[in-house]
Amino acid sequence: MQPVVNKSIYHCYRCGQGRRCPDNPQTAEQRQLDNPRPARCKRKSRCHHGYVIVKTKAEGEPPYEFETVLAHGAYGPTPSKSAISELVYRDQLYIGTDKPAEIIRLHPDDTWDLVVGTPRETPEGWKYPLSGMDNGFDWKLNIHIYRMAEYGGELYAGTADNATRYRNNPLYEDFVKDKLGFDLYKSPDGWHWKKLTTNGFGRPFQMGIRTFANTPYGLFFGSFSYWEGCRIWLSTPAVEGENRTRASASSAARRPGLFGFASARADLPPPCPARLTSEWREDESILFWTRPEGAVRFHISRTDVTEPDSPVEEIGVTEESFFVDTTMHPDHRYQYAARSEGKSGLLSEKSNLSPAPSLLPPVTFTRLLNRIEAIDSRTGFSSPVGGREALRLVKNAHHELIHSGPMSCYERLNQLRRMLEADKPLFALPQYAEDLEIMAHRLTKRIELQERGILTLEDLL
């Protein structure tokens, strides 16, 4: 006699669908004799596994009704099962995950962006990381985005780095020796991330950042260790304006912070290059950035993240606002940074990191137009006039680049950027204005590279 299929007595331990899971036709007899554990899904893509983000208005009498905002672990190729850190920054919810260590950004209208992580196909189309960086900020042993905080108008993200566990493993010790300890990054916008440390500030047994506290005295955070006591850290900016520098020169110059030492010198270094961005070609990596006031030249450094024991090396100096690296290995992955040099010869702190090849495709007219249309379709503009005006400016810039040259094109794109910076009430969600301004800025810089003969017209379309 054939055993009777009884799908109501088990749950798929991967997707949790229980009797509704179509991929586990298991009988009661088979379950008891052959497989005492719950059945495992054969088709992962059909399973509802991975973390889920839900929301509720919490109105009326409980139980409250919840609405799913993000499911399937954000549809990643190996979805995380846990969202372990959350922070509202500039009215957007940033979510840090566990294994893989990703950052997701939720907008108030429930749309979302991938900030750090592997590109993936979703019901909304392909998602690429705004930072251009893969899981763990391009370091696979970062297993959690453990905590996040806002301080000084910037977003901080601390990780748990598993490299310390491999320090005595002969197969991995050379690979991880310079990366022991937690990592800490900061960003003003979610697109551009600056590295503060990738080795626990020299404490290899401090594995992760577990808590932040934003105070009038600076940003405190606590780190944990399985091998030594936990530690409390304090971050204070090296220079917070001329008045602070004069008032606290004697004490602050002796007190290190996460950003270096406070300086009492009058000839301060220039600001660092802003919005460093890379673009990968077959045999070269193209870098460009925004020139800060007071900078006369720029120093470009590079590290090979394919081989983490490789040193950070300076690969060139330029007076231009771009640099072309032709010395990299085509099968390796790199991270670049730039520093400004002032007239006095002093160097700035390093810029944001820019990965190459970046996982974020370069901005083209097509991608900018598609982004504006997508925002407009979600009533991201507070009036139809705003969406139409933005589309008109980009289309006119595209037409004039082809028929009139770059000067008229610059004017249209700069007009769009001025509109985005000044008329944020034009948007139902002002957060969209900053994203479009960043895209318009990158497209403008790419047009400058096309004018120099580094890119082609087809690269911009």
Domain co-membership, 217 together with 336? no
Helix axes 365-377, 384-403, angle to 10 degrees: 170
Q: Note whether 59 and 181 are same-domain residues.
A: yes
Q: Where in the sequence is the domain holding 182, given as residue range(s)?
A: 53-260
Q: What is the pLDDT of residues 275-319, one digit of tens each?
A: 999 999 878 999 999 999 999 999 999 999 888 678 899 999 999
Judgement on whether residues 177 and 229 belong to the same structural domain of the protein:
yes
Chain centre to alpha carbon of residue 437: 17
Phi first, then psi, for residue 197 (nearest 5°) are -160, 150
pLDDT in tens, 369-395: 998 888 877 766 656 566 777 888 888
Same domain, 89 and 223: yes
Higher pLDDT, 39 or 312: 312
Residue 125 lies in a domain: yes
Instruction: For residue 268, tell me if it sits in a domain.
Output: no
* Residue where a domain stops, chosen among 356, 383, 405: 356
In 3D space, the residue among 421, 439, 457, 425 whose CA is nearest the CA of residue 374 turns out to be 439
Tokens representing residue 280 in the block: 């990968």
Q: Among candidates 444, 439, 460, 279, which has minimal Cα distance to 355?
A: 279
Is residue 197 located within the same domain as residue 88? Answer: yes
Domain count, the chain: 4
Domain end marker among 331, 356, 381: 356
Terminal Cα distance for the chain, rounded: 67
Rounded to whole angstroms, how far apart are CA atoms 11 and 3?
A: 19
Residue 107 within a domain: yes
Separation of alpha carbons 26 and 9, rounded Å: 10
Q: What is the largest CA-CA distance in the chain?
A: 92
The pTM (predicted TM-score) of the whole model is 0.82
For residue 159, tell me if it sits in a domain: yes
Summarised one tens digit per residue, pLDDT across range 161-172 is 999 999 999 888
- pLDDT higher than threshold 80 for residue 238: no
131 and 248 housed in the same domain: yes
